[in-house]
Structure 1
C-alpha cells in the first residue's frame, strides 16, 4: 500500500507531532510513503510558513498520486484540503488549540477548519481532542479514530544518573525541577516560575531546568524579565533544543517533572518522565488527567500556592515519591507504539 504522506516542512528535529508520525510509520513495514514535503528555506521566523501557505499547495498538487490514500499529518496543514481537490483523505489532528483555546480569527485557521470537515477520516490522540473536534469543527464523532501517542521504552526507561546535569553546572546536592516544552501562554511557564520562586524559599538548594525552544514570539524576553525580577537568574536554566537521547538522560537526572499546561490535546512529556522513573505533577485540565490517570499529582494550574505545596511534598516525602514513581512506571507501559501502528494500519485499510 502506498500513502501520499503530506507532512509539511522537511526537518530532522524531533518534536511531539513529528515523533508521533515517525514512531508509527517506522512500524508499518508494508507501507510505502510518498513523502510530500517542502525544504527548510530559512531560520528566520515566519519565512517557512509563507512557503507553506503560498508554495506548498503547488508541490502537493504536483506530487500526489490519484489512487493513493492522502494522509495529511498535522491539523495546521488541513487548509490543503480546501485548496486542492483530494480524494481518500485522512488528517491527523492532535488538537484544535487555536480555535478551542485561543478563539482565533486567523483566516488560515478558518481554512484549516473547512479542510478538516472535508477529510474522510480524522485521527486524533485522545478522547478529549475527539470531543473538541466534534464540538468546534462540527465533524462526525463516528469518523474520528483515537490513536494515542506512546513511549519508546527502549529510550525512556529508568537509568538514574545526575551526569547529564554537569553540562548545566548543577551540583549533585541540588534538587532539580524539570519542565519540557514550548513557552507559549497556554503552557503556563510564567506560573511555574512564580511557584518555583516560592518553592526556593522553602528549599534553597533547588534549580528549575527548562528544555525546549520558545516557539512563540516575544515570550522568552518576558520570562527573562520575570526571572530577573525574582532574582532567579542563577536558578532557572534554559537548555534549548536537545536530542532525544539527551532528553532521556535529563529525565533520569532530575527529581521532579512539572507540566502545568492549561490545554493539551495529549501531552507526551509526562509519560516520558514517568517511564524514566521521575514523579510527575501536571494540570487537572484538558486531556492531561486522561493521560496520567492516578499516576501523577494533578493540580489546578491557576493556583500557584497549590503547585508549590505539591512540589515541596514530592521533593521531601520519600514515601510519596516512591509511590508516584511506581504508579508512573506502570502507567507509561500502557501506551504502546506497536498498538498505535496497528490502529493506523487499520484506518488505512478501511479507507
Structure 2
C-alpha cells in the first residue's frame, strides 16, 4: 500500500504539528515495514526527513516546495499526488489540497479561533478559517481528532458527524522520563546558570496560551512571598517567541524572577522538565496539551487550566485551576 503523508506544515510556525508529523512518520515506518510511505516535504524548512529516509528505506521523501498557505499549491499539489499513484493521502493540516483526488484522512488538532475569537482577528479571518476547516473535513473520508474535546468541537462547530471521527491521542517522546541519577538535575541547572528552584511554562506566546495573565499572577505571588517558604523560585519559559504578539514577550521580560530560554532541543527540554518544581499550563484552550504529559512522564507535578482537553488529558493527576482567575 502506498500512502502519502503531508509533511509540508513543518517549521517554526508549526512547532507542535512538526513534532506530530515527525513522530507519526517514524511510528508508521517502525510499525508497518510493508507500507510504502511517500513523504511530501518542503526542502526549504530543513526538517529531518532525509534522516528518516536513511533509517527506513520504505520512506521516500517527495519535494513539494509549496507552503500550505500558497494558492499555487492548490493547483500543483493535486497533480503531484495523482502522479504518485498512491492509495491514500494523509493531510496533516486543514490547508490541504482540496482537490487531492485520493481517499483522504485528515488530522485536526484544535479549533482555537472558533473557541477563542481573540486568537484570530478580524472576524472575516475566523469565518474563512471555519469555511476551510469545513471544506477539509468534507473532503476527508475520515477525520482524526487528537482528543475527545477536539472531536466534540468538530461535531459542534463544524458539523462533522461522529461516525466520521476517530480520536487518536498523542504521547510524549520516550526521551521524556525521570532523571536516572537524582543529582543530575541540580548539576545541569548549575551548568546552565538556572536558578535552583523554578516553575516551568512550555509553549508559545499566542493569545490563547494566556501567558500575560500567567505573568501577572506570578508577579502577585512573588509580591506575597515569605522567607519562611524557602528560596524564591523563578518562572522559566521555554518555547518559541512569536513576534506577532509582543505584549506577552515584554510582560515576561519586565517581570522580576522570570527567565525566557527560547526554543530548546528535546535533549535540553527533558532536563529542564526534570529540574522543575512544577509545570504550569494556563491555556485558555487546547486541542491536547502535550507539555502536560511530557512533564508527567518526567515525574514533575502539573498545574493546568480546567478547560476540557487539559482536564481530559490530565486524567485527575494534575491540579486544575480557572485560567481566567489570576488569584487561582
TM-score in terms of structure 2 length:
0.80
| Separation (CA, whole Å) in 2 of partners of 1:170 and 1:9 | 33
Q: Report SS of the residue matched to 1:163.
A: helix
Per mean C-alpha deviation after superposition, the further-off stretch among 94-103 and 50-59 is: 50-59
Q: Deviations over 1:250-297 (max 9, x none)?
A: 000111100000100001001100111110000001300000011100
Q: Report SS of the residue matched to 2:74.
A: helix
Two-structure CA RMSD over aligned residues (Å): 2.6
Alignment of 1:201-220 (within 5 A): 201=223, 202=225, 205-215=232-242, 217=244, 219=245
Aligned to 1:91: 106
Alignment of 1:299-314 (within 5 A): 299-306=321-328
The alignment covers a number of residue pairs equal to 289
Q: Report SS of the residue matched to 1:304.
A: coil
Q: Report SS of the residue matched to 1:192.
A: helix
Q: Is the 8 A contact 1:38 1:56 kept in 2?
A: no
Q: Report SS of the residue matched to 1:162.
A: helix
Q: Deviations over 1:119-163 (max 9, x none)?
A: 11101111110010011111111110100001223x011104133
Shift of 1:299: 0.4
Q: Is 1:25 matched with 2:25?
A: yes
Per mean C-alpha deviation after superposition, the further-off stretch among 57-66 and 134-143 is: 57-66
Aligned to 1:336: none
Q: Is the 8 A contact 2:10 2:18 kept in 1?
A: no
Listed as ranges, the gaps of 5+ residues in structure 1 are 43-47, 307-351
| Separation (CA, whole Å) in 2 of partners of 1:126 and 1:305 | 29
Aligned to 1:101: 116
Per mean C-alpha deviation after superposition, the further-off stretch among 130-139 and 10-19 is: 10-19
Aligned to 2:176: 156
Aligned to 2:15: 15
| Separation (CA, whole Å) in 1 of partners of 2:168 and 2:40 | 23
Q: Is the 8 A contact 1:126 1:146 kept in 2?
A: yes
| Separation (CA, whole Å) in 1 of partners of 2:259 and 2:108 | 32
Q: Is the 8 A contact 2:2 2:37 kept in 1?
A: yes
Taking a change above 3 Å as real, the CA distance of residues 134 and 257 of structure 1, as seen in their structure-2 partners, is same
Which has the larger share of helix?
A: 1
By relative contact order (CA 8 Å, sep 6+), the higher-ranking structure is: 1
Alignment of 1:47-66 (within 5 A): 52-64=69-81, 65-66=84-85
Q: Report SS of the residue matched to 1:237.
A: strand
Q: Report SS of the residue matched to 2:215.
A: helix
Q: Is the 8 A contact 2:202 2:239 kept in 1?
A: yes
Q: Is the 8 A contact 1:4 1:35 kept in 2?
A: yes
| Separation (CA, whole Å) in 2 of partners of 1:73 and 1:305 | 38
